[in-house]
A = this chain, B = another copy of it.
Amino acid sequence: MIGFHEFISEFNDALSRCESMAIFARCEIVYSGRAESQLLSGDRMLLIKSDKSMLIHQPTGSAPVNWMKEDSDYALDIEGDSLMLRVRNLPLKEYLDIKIEEIYSFSRQKLEDGQKIIITGSERDMSDMILENPELIEKGFKPLSREEHTKYGFIDVFGYDANNVLVVIEAKRYSADFKAVSQLRRYVEKVRKSKGLEKVRGILAAPQISANAEKMLHDFGFEYRKISPPKYMERFHKKQSNLNFFSDKKDSKNHD
């Protein structure tokens, strides 16, 4: 438990040094901006980052209950028994008011991190895989070099089949739904119109598809290919299982 006066001093000092902060506190919260929200009194974790963004987490769930974007302004004032923390982002017209009733703990730290996460197994990797292995779609499929931003739109993969009919492919890394079919439909219609072609094939590539989406797909005359996104690191790990840090990962992967 930390007194408000000591906290105010520490908080403002940390803020001026662009340190990151973690606060455990009981508080009530009101947000006003893109929407409006209220959250009555309870225990939460408040994070303030070096970029002056803020996140508030309840003790459960993976999404923050309230937050403010970077470059927000912070002001602390004691009001009666409580400490008001007012967070403002004037350019975005967003306001967060936190009535802090009790502070359980406070940590501050200057954090240095120049690293950027590298992710594999995304939809992009999936279309790369299709480009490199066109037979995943069908024998004789000839993909054109992928053009995300053609005049036809943001098409994942684009090519010709064995009969030189144009093929538009939409890849989804997860179970394909109505939205994926609608998207494919929009692209196919665009290409048909732009090229003045009657026949353009549409193919949805995904590990799964919902029954409704598949029905809609067939109604439009499109096709489904069951294809899963690649996991490059996993493959790498299986090949090279003798490394230090990563080796344990690998072993832990061998749960299947």
**Footprint of B on A, CB under 8 Å?**
20, 22, 24, 28, 30, 32, 34-45, 47, 49-51, 53, 55, 57-62, 64-67, 69-70, 79, 84, 86, 88, 90, 93, 95, 97, 99, 104-105, 107, 109, 111-122, 173, 178-179, 182-183, 185-186, 229, 231-234, 237, 245-246, 248-249, 252-253, 255-256
CA distance A105 to B111 in the complex (A): 11
CA distance A30 to B111 in the complex (A): 20
- Contact A118/B22 with A99-B246, A113-B44, A249-B95 known, Cβ cut-off 8 Å: no
Q: Is the CB of B42 within 8 A of A51?
A: no
Select A88's contact among B20, B38, B118, B252, beta carbons within 8 Å. Answer: B252
Give the number of times this chain occurs in the complex, counting copies.
Answer: 2
- Further contacts, 15 of them, CB under 8 A, given A22-B22, A95-B249: A20-B45, A22-B45, A32-B231, A37-B120, A39-B117, A41-B115, A43-B113, A44-B111, A44-B113, A53-B62, A84-B248, A93-B256, A95-B252, A179-B183, A182-B185
CA distance A185 to B186 in the complex (A): 11
Q: Is the CB of A35 within 8 A of B97?
A: no
- Contact A28/B245 with A43-B111, A57-B49, A62-B70 known, Cβ cut-off 8 Å: yes
Select A47's contact among B32, B57, B70, B95, beta carbons within 8 Å. Answer: B57
